[in-house]
Amino acid sequence: MSLNQWRKFAFFDKKIVKNESGEPFDALKPYKIWASSSGRGKLFFGDADGVIIVMDQRLEVFTFRAHLLRVSHLCMMKQQNFLVSVGDDDGDAELLIKVWNFDKMDASGTPTCARIIRLPAETSREPVTCFTVHENLNYMAIGYSNGSVVLFKGDITKERNASKHIQIHKGKSPITGLSFRPTTTGKGGIALYISSLDEIWSYAIGSRDKESESILDHHGCALQCSTMTDSTVDFQFVIGRSDAFYFYLPDSRGQCLAFGGEKVLLEWCHGYLVVVSKKDDSDGRASSSDSLGGDMQIITIYDVKNKLIAYYGPVQEVKALLCEWGSVFVLCNDNKVHCRSVFDFIYFII
């Protein structure tokens, strides 16, 4: 059965995030957002001027300068109160990784920078395309536009136990996605999934000195079109291509769910696959005359386990998807925020 045949429901409602006075939340408007992440009751945004914006559930916002120039990537841990940022500090295209401890704040309310890590010299000038950190803070992977992936091993929060790095992968096309499998594989190791424009790989890492690799597919996916599922579907890596969604285990391909359309963004949120795709002009439900106006895309929320569509609707062009407080937050290109949650709201930051 294709996803087009799945029953459609309205388990999610849509609301624009508003402040206490009932006005649309606009605290992000002054910033040019480049990166985002979420976790531990907060949303995080990195901007073009090196500032990180932190937003809590009450819509209270505080900012701090993390880098001198652009913040390109953010990764907030779910189990520990650490945020990891990648950014430019010297304007010479050499990026730095900084580890921020939110359990240790200074007098001004800024988190402590626990560690600064320089990227390896051999890749320091290559554009970083994606970035991920394992929840145990002992593994970190960085993907580059030249098709290489560098793996850091060792506690990234401590200078004393300086992490070592290796180039674990070298492909022919840009890296488009990286995800650590949260649980160990059947062989006792940790799996790192890698997607590029033309391939899907899995690497078994962990206690062994030598990492083992498995090529899972000779077709890849675009940037931001991959994500990691949760325990409801056995922590599989999922990618979206124009013809279907493809699921992968560390050593094999899983199910394929046929659903046409050009995918733009994928995120796994509280057991749902959240997908932003380009609007199909032939679909009358997604008319450009929609009250939201502007360049339209489609957001669809799939309940993969129960084989149903929990939400389908148009949205202005999306910059990021974030999951927190049981809701899906949608950051649009004009920095407004919408939100959706099951029988509550899907919030939009518009």
Strands 327-332 and 346-349: parallel
Span 48-59, average pLDDT: 95
What is the pLDDT, as a whole number, of residue 23? 83
**Which pLDDT score is estimated for 347?**
57
pLDDT in tens, 222-280: 999 999 999 889 999 999 999 999 999 999 999 999 999 999 999 999 899 999 999 87
Radius of gyration, alpha carbons of the chain? 20
- What pLDDT score was predicted for residue 245? 97
Q: Residue 325, exposed/middle/buried by CB under 10 A (0-12, 13-18, 19+)?
A: middle
pLDDT at 41 over 90: yes
Angle (nearest 5°) at CA 246 between 242 and 251: 145
Unique residue bearing structure tokens 């999951």? 323
**83 pLDDT higher than 90:** yes
Largest CA distance in the chain: 60
CB atoms within 10 A of CB 208: 11
Instruction: Tell me which residue has tokens 């985002």.
Output: 36
Question: CA-CA distance, 289 to 159, in Å (whole number)?
Answer: 55
Overall average pLDDT of the 76-97 stretch: 90
**pLDDT tens, position by position, 92-147:** 667 899 999 999 999 888 999 999 998 887 777 789 999 999 999 999 999 999 99
Convert the pLDDT of each residue in 161-176 to its tens digit. Answer: 666 899 999 999 999 9
* Residues recorded for the chain: 350
Q: Is the pLDDT of residue 221 over 90?
A: yes
Helix (H, G, I), strand (E, B) or coil at 233: helix
Nearest to 248 by CA among 273, 229, 271, 222: 229
The pLDDT value given to residue 189: 77
